Amino acid sequence: MFQSAAKTLSVATTTAATLTRGTSFSIRRYCQKTPATLRVSEAVSGAKLGANVKVQGWVRSVRPQKANLFLHVNDGSSLQSLQVVASSELDDPLLTLGSAVEVTGTLRKSPRQRQPFELEADRIHVVGDCDPVDFPFKIKERHSLEYIRQFPHLRCRTNAFSSLLRIRSEATTAVHSYFKENGFVQIHTPVITSNDCEGAGELFQVEPSSPNNEEGEKFFSVPAFLTVSGQLHLEVMSGAFSRVYTFGPTFRAENSQSRRHLAEFYMVEAEVSFTQSLEDLTKVMEDMFRSATEHVLAHCAEDVDLFHKHVTPGHRDTVDAMLKNRFPWGCDLQTEHEKHLVKHCGNIPVFVTDYPYDLKPFYARDNLDHPEHTAAAVDLLVPGVGELCGGSLREERLDLLKARLGE
């Protein structure tokens, strides 16, 4: 599938490349005053205004008019495409939706309303053509997600998918930044592991696909699985580093088709040593959630707006409300429904704490609060999502741990 897409994908290299060795290349380039290559995100914000620049990307629209030709070019660096204005003489039958182009020209203020800057082209080079009949997406049509899903090799060319991927990339950066700024050491907990972490979910087993050369000798000396949680490895690390985290792929072999059950997903896990109360954990949960949300809103404003406009209208207000207030703590939850609680608290995230002791794993700290008997555990419930994070103080009293393991 991937290979057969080569034609439509308008491949990544130009046809004219001659290899040039060593430093002579950059010197030559400097002497020739080759135009600076700009990303579309830079060009649409007016970087290098008035300068001769080069922009590379894929054509999103073509509008030939009497004297002028208008193109929109996108390179994945932003939701916005760059408007290119050229003399009709530069038109080319290969300039179609989906074709890959390299445009050289002058970046100037646009006399038109829709965008502040545009590229006045003096050269348009089609480096990869695209047959508009074969290409599954059409100009100005809004395709359904069900339709787009049929073209996994091309869907990243749609606004919905490219926005989603940019948001995911920024959200990942934001999570790492939060932990780094707060003194956490990142640990790569193993993906292949022999532990099943308190039976957190159905496991995938891993075996070499072809048998080993030496008969009878197994690749792994014990059964090997894909990780369902890095918790046990992180707990070991938290005996030497007072703040550690991991953020990597996690696996569950649950045979269920839903938005909340994926065979493979990314999970953040952190261990904080020397905790005194649940507040030491809720602070990390809330601050990470808050800083990641703010980072994404700041770095992908247009991408987020696209989703607020077309996918989840009204969600923007919910997000704003989340960021405005500290998250409240709920109490005595046994009889209430999670979603109801979140709504009850004004549609913002809510911490639920002190769960019944018997519902929580053996390592959660016993609050010793007879007759309620709860554990020092916490979940963060978020509007529209449900449980986003969970955590607990760890039981450190050896006699209590031993007694519970005995049970």
Per CB under 8 A, contacts with a second copy among 72-101 are 75-77, 100
In the complex, the smallest distance separating the C-beta of residue 290 from a second copy, rounded to whole angstroms, is 15
Q: In this complex, which beta carbon is closest to a second copy, that of residue 113 or of residue 334?
A: 334
Q: How, if at all, do strands 243-251 and 264-272 pair?
A: antiparallel
User: Which residues on neighbouring strands pair with residue 57, listed in sequence order?
Assistant: 101
Q: In this complex, which beta carbon is closest to a second copy, that of residue 152 or of residue 386?
A: 152
The single residue among 208, 313, 356, 384 that binds a second copy, judged by CB under 8 A, is 208
In the complex, the smallest distance separating the C-beta of residue 185 from a second copy, rounded to whole angstroms, is 5
Establish if 185 lies at the interface with a second copy (CB under 8 A): yes
Structure tokens at 346: 């004004």
Angle in degrees, 0-180, between the axes of helices 315-324 and 278-299, rounded to the nearest 10: 130
In the complex, the smallest distance separating the C-beta of residue 323 from a second copy, rounded to whole angstroms, is 17
In the complex, the smallest distance separating the C-beta of residue 242 from a second copy, rounded to whole angstroms, is 4
Instruction: Give kind and range of the element (H or E) at residue 29.
Output: helix 24-32
In the complex, the smallest distance separating the C-beta of residue 260 from a second copy, rounded to whole angstroms, is 18
The single residue among 237, 270, 284, 285 that binds a second copy, judged by CB under 8 A, is 237
| Peptide bond preceding 249 in cis form (omega within 30 of 0) | no
Neighbours of 328 (CB within 10 A): 14
Q: In this complex, which beta carbon is closest to a second copy, that of residue 87 or of residue 368?
A: 368
Question: Segment near a second copy (CB under 8 A), from 63-71, 80-88, 138-146, 231-239?
Answer: 231-239
The single residue among 215, 398, 399, 406 that binds a second copy, judged by CB under 8 A, is 398
Establish if 325 lies at the interface with a second copy (CB under 8 A): no
- Considering only CA atoms, which of 334, 335, 336, 338 is closest in space to residue 350? 338
Restricting to residues 338-357, which ones interact with a second copy according to CB under 8 A?
353-354
Buried b (16+ CB within 10 A) or exposed e, 361-398: bebbbbbeeeeeebbbbbbbbbbeeeeebebbbbbeee
The single residue among 32, 65, 113, 209 that binds a second copy, judged by CB under 8 A, is 209
Q: In this complex, which beta carbon is closest to a second copy, that of residue 315 or of residue 329?
A: 329
Establish if 212 lies at the interface with a second copy (CB under 8 A): yes
In the complex, the smallest distance separating the C-beta of residue 25 from a second copy, rounded to whole angstroms, is 5
Question: Segment near a second copy (CB under 8 A), from 62-70, 285-293, 301-309, 323-331?
Answer: 323-331
CB-based contact 274:267 (threshold 8 Å) = no
Q: In this complex, which beta carbon is closest to a second copy, that of residue 83 or of residue 374?
A: 374
In whole angstroms, what is the distance from residue 397 CA to residue 404 CA? Answer: 11
Residue 384: partners with Cβ closer than 8 Å, 6 or more residues away: 312, 315, 318
The single residue among 95, 107, 121, 226 that binds a second copy, judged by CB under 8 A, is 226
Eight-state DSSP code of residue 238: T
In the complex, the smallest distance separating the C-beta of residue 67 from a second copy, rounded to whole angstroms, is 29
In whole angstroms, what is the distance from residue 99 CA to residue 111 CA? Answer: 26
The single residue among 118, 238, 342, 366 that binds a second copy, judged by CB under 8 A, is 238
The single residue among 199, 240, 334, 370 that binds a second copy, judged by CB under 8 A, is 240
Restricting to residues 120-179, which ones interact with a second copy according to CB under 8 A?
127-128, 152-154, 156-157, 161-162, 165-166, 168-169, 172-173, 176
In whole angstroms, what is the distance from residue 286 CA to residue 323 CA? Answer: 10
* Residue 340 φ/ψ, nearest 5 degrees: -60, -40
Establish if 3 lies at the interface with a second copy (CB under 8 A): yes
Residue 173: partners with Cβ closer than 8 Å, 6 or more residues away: 295
Residue 121: partners with Cβ closer than 8 Å, 6 or more residues away: 71, 84, 85, 86, 90, 103, 104, 105
Counting residues that bind a second copy (by CB under 8 A) gives: 117
The single residue among 41, 45, 52, 110 that binds a second copy, judged by CB under 8 A, is 41
- Considering only CA atoms, which of 346, 341, 320, 319 is closest in space to residue 330? 341
In whole angstroms, what is the distance from residue 353 CA to residue 367 CA? Answer: 11
| Peptide bond preceding 132 in cis form (omega within 30 of 0) | no
The single residue among 14, 87, 88, 150 that binds a second copy, judged by CB under 8 A, is 14
Question: Segment near a second copy (CB under 8 A), from 139-147, 207-215, 301-309, 336-344?
Answer: 207-215
